Amino acid sequence: MSESIEPSTSTTTTTTTTSSTTTPTPPAAKNTGFSRNEATVGITCFLGTTAPYKGLLKQRYSDFIVNEVDLDDNVVSLTSLTYEDPTTPKQDATATVETETTTTTESESESSKPINTEEEIIKFNKLKELVGEEQMEEFKAFFNGPSKTEITSTYKFKENKSKEERTNLHKLIKDFDLVTETKDNRVVVSAGCNTRKRELARNVWGGDKPKFVQFVLHKENKELLDAIGILSNVMHVNQRSFSFAGTKDKRGVTSQRVTVYRQSPENIVAANQRLFSSIRVGGDFKYVDKHLMLGDLNGNRFTVVIRDVSGDDELIAESVAQLNHTGFINYYGLQRFGTGSVSTNQVGLEVIKGNWENAVMLILGPREGENEDFIKARTKYKENGDADALLQALPKYMVSERKLLMVLKRDKKGFYNAINSLPRTLRMLYPHSYQSYIWNKMASERITKFGFKEVVVGDLVAVSKNNNNKQQQQEKQKDEKNEEEGSGDVVEMPVEDDGGDDKDDYQVTHVTEDDIKNKRYTIDQVVLPMPGSNIVYPSNEIGQRYKEVMLEDGVDEAKINHNKTKVFHLKGSYRKIISRPINLEYKIYRYDSAKIPLALSDLDRLNGKEEPQDLPDGKYKALRLSFSLPSSSYATMVYRELLKQPTNVLQQQQQFNHEKDNNNNNEEDNNTKNLKRKLSEFANNDGDTTKKEQNNEKEETTITEERDTKRSSSIPL
């Protein structure tokens, strides 16, 4: 029987601090590539006290089901593979059409007037800045006039001898889907076939209808970009027309929202006829005004089957109860630090220190556990600096390396330019990774020093601005001394949230003696900073340890702020030290075969499949967990805390299962080969470097540094 766990309520009791346990030494494993030890990235503590036990994660990819949680805390599910337009009347259709036709005839003069879209109005305003109001109005009349559909129709802007200004004008006019050329220093606009396409699209879509459609993408054992690439081919739509809130793990069954530009729901569901069975699209459909952006989610709902569990039922129940009650340390998982022997935080340290050559050589140099041919090519480059030779040896999916080498081909000593040539989200991954490493180390020290039950003087806590305002009103009734004691240092900065309130509604303050006395805060509010220029450190021993640990690495506050190199400037942010699984449920199964599914996906339910059955006399035991996590927490840390097993050991088990899957599943290997756009080995798993590169111009101005940090931590295994 499935069991729900009542969520625990945190208190600020002053009971004796409970010590955390430390990570056991992982057993030796076969060399299946490089395996990073948790301690090297600051992960050393557990919260619970239950005994460790073993289990197999992702023995089947269908053992890992992820449903996105949207900004309204709704769990996203594939609810239908068809679409019925709710605005289309089902009766008296003929009468309706006749009425509409009559109305159109009577108001023909009104309907014939052009209605410019919001997007076109914005472009007209930009044009006004370039050429002035008079020429803008003339062009607008041409654009909206009946003659624009004629191939021979043209509009000529005034002579402009500035090549730069003409170039900017060409770019802007082409955004109107018109054809331009330069004659006698004048930009000449002609309608051509582009206008006919634009006119047709605008008339078909309708002026008042929101220009994006949101739908649900359901995929199995497939990279998100591969799935979208296939979908774009089937629908004959540019891949850039699709947007999403976050990537989901390949090895699993996932459902998430996707938006597409000006494509009808009917066209979307029609794609199911030509898609692989591992990809399905459908409802809940919505017309929306804005496309999804990375980070537009509150988290994910996980349904995970852990097979061949060694613990008895009592141990499992106790470990689940402890996990629900105490939560887990909100560490950045191993995924944050890359899969190679050279971790991203090592590169990030050199970037922060401004040692550009060292940073480049760490990325391009030989590394343990890699293909032997790659090791040889990397070693030769380290010896002779022949960028072209290494470029030819490395495959195209090694995004970071190839971009660096393209710059170094032109300038052997252009190390800074090489690093700076990477897309912003990729190049910032390195210093962000170093920030994460420092955060992990400080979280371990905070838990080891002060435990995980009590708030202590000097801690930093995240406080809702609204709650803080109420508190300040109450403080006015106290004497001046208590007012001063309770005020603390208040800093308004983004907090990596628990998926609840808007992060902009938080501010950070130091805990005082008066706060402790009045039990004003709980451990769930305690945060630690990611080093940067706009943060404050705890005012207790942990704050001092930040400075000591960074100085040991050769980093002081001046370097972390990067005054000289603003490209890599780090503002910093805050992250809660304790996270908790939300709405945690579990069920223990007995089963006889690993081929028996123990969890249903959205598509399974649409197809009417029955719930898995427990076999009382089954040979094996499995634990099925269901829980939600905020987008700033790592699912690997949940399994780590539950099983009391280091994640590098769990990942070695996963690698074995992954290789088995690859050997047994070749459904579309040849068909999708041309769609593979793998990340560099350094890219974290919740951002996709290639997608970011393709959408660089569109997204760089809208994605903040704090969102970069957030989206890199919405992590399935």
* Confidence check: pLDDT of 350 > 60: yes
CATH of the domain at 391: 1.10.1510.30
Of 528, 543, 576, the domain-final residue = 576
Residues 6 or more apart in contact with residue 335 via CB below 8 angstroms = 634, 636, 684, 685, 715
Whether 701 shows a pLDDT value over 60: the answer reads no
Where is the domain boundary, 535, 557, 576? 576
Shared-domain flag, residues 539 and 593: no
Q: In this structure, are 351 and 378 located in the same domain? A: yes
Domain count, the chain: 4
Q: What is the CATH number of the domain that holds 180?
A: 3.30.1370
Q: Are residues 490 and 381 in the same domain?
A: no
Euclidean distance between CA atoms 348 and 361, whole angstroms: 12
What is the secondary structure of 163-201 as a DSSP string?
A: HHHHHHHHHHHHTTT-EEEEETTEEEEE-HHHHHHHHHH
pLDDT at residue number 381: 85
Three-point CA angle 443, 444, 446, nearest 5°: 60
User: Is there a single domain that holds both residue 608 and residue 550?
Assistant: no
pLDDT at 145: 67
Structure tokens belonging to residue 128: 């006004």
Predicted pLDDT of residue 365: 87
Over the range 305-332, which residues count as b (16 or more CB within 10 Å of their CB) and which as e? bbbebebeeeebbbbbbbbbbbbbbbbb
Q: Is residue 213 part of a domain?
A: no
Q: How confident is the model at residue 191 (pLDDT cuts 50, 70, 90)?
A: low
674 domain-assigned: no
Give yes or no: residues 131 and 189 share one domain: yes
Asked if 141 and 180 count as a contact pair (C-beta separation under 8 A), the reply is no
User: Does residue 20 belong to any structural domain of this protein?
Assistant: yes
Average pLDDT over residues 373-385: 86
Confidence of residue 395 (pLDDT cuts 50, 70, 90): confident
The residue type of 163 is K
Range name among 35-39, 360-364, 527-531, 598-602 with the lowest pLDDT average: 35-39
Does residue 360 lie in a domain region? yes
pLDDT for res 561: 67
Predicted local distance difference test score (pLDDT) of residue 146: 54
Q: What is the mean pLDDT of residues 385-412?
A: 87
Flag whether pLDDT at 37 surpasses 50. yes
Does one domain contain both 52 and 162?
A: no
Nearest partner of 633 among 389, 313, 423, 330, judged by Cα: 330
Q: Does residue 592 belong to any structural domain of this protein?
A: yes
Predicted pLDDT at 560:
75
Exposed/middle/buried for 534, CB within 10 Å: 0-12, 13-18, 19+? middle
Q: Is 249 a catalytic residue?
A: yes
Q: What is the C-alpha separation between 172 and 154, in angstroms, rounded? A: 16
End-of-domain residue from the set 513, 541, 576: 576
The model's pLDDT over 412-454, given as tens digits with 9 standing for 90+, comes to 899 999 999 888 888 899 999 999 999 999 999 999 999 999 9
Is residue 82, in this structure, part of any structural domain at all?
no
The answer on pLDDT for 98 being more than 50 is: no
Q: What CATH number corresponds to the domain at position 464?
A: 3.30.2350.20
Shared domain for 443 and 496, answered yes or no, is yes
pLDDT at 581 over 90: yes
CA–CA distance, 574 with 538 (Å, rounded to integer):
11
State residue 574's pLDDT score. 95
Range of the domain at 155: 116-205
| Separation in Å, CA 329 to CA 16, 35, 653 | 19, 22, 22
- Tell me the pLDDT tens digit for each residue of 472-525: 444 444 443 333 333 344 454 555 543 333 445 689 999 999 999 999 999 999
Residue 257: CA atoms inside 13 Å, Cβ hemisphere, count? 29
Among 106-115, 123-132, 554-563, 595-604, name the most confident range: 595-604
Tell me: do 132 and 173 sit in the same domain: yes
| 530 and 608 together in one domain | no
- Predicted confidence band at 147 (pLDDT cuts at 50, 70, 90)? very low
- Are both 491 and 405 inside the same structural domain? no
Residue 243 resides in a domain? no
Q: Which of 63, 249, 498, 602 is catalytic?
A: 249
- Say if residue 27's pLDDT is above 60: no
- pLDDT number for residue 122: 82
408 and 325 in one domain?
Answer: no
Shared domain for 612 and 632, answered yes or no, is yes
CA gap 710, 495 in Å, rounded: 10
Within a domain: 677: no
Q: For residues 124 and 513, which has the higher predicted lDDT (pLDDT)?
A: 513
The pLDDT tens digits for 611-657 are 999 999 999 999 999 999 998 899 999 999 999 998 876 655 554 45
pTM, two decimals, is 0.70
Work out the pLDDT band at 49, boundaries 50, 70, 90.
Answer: very high
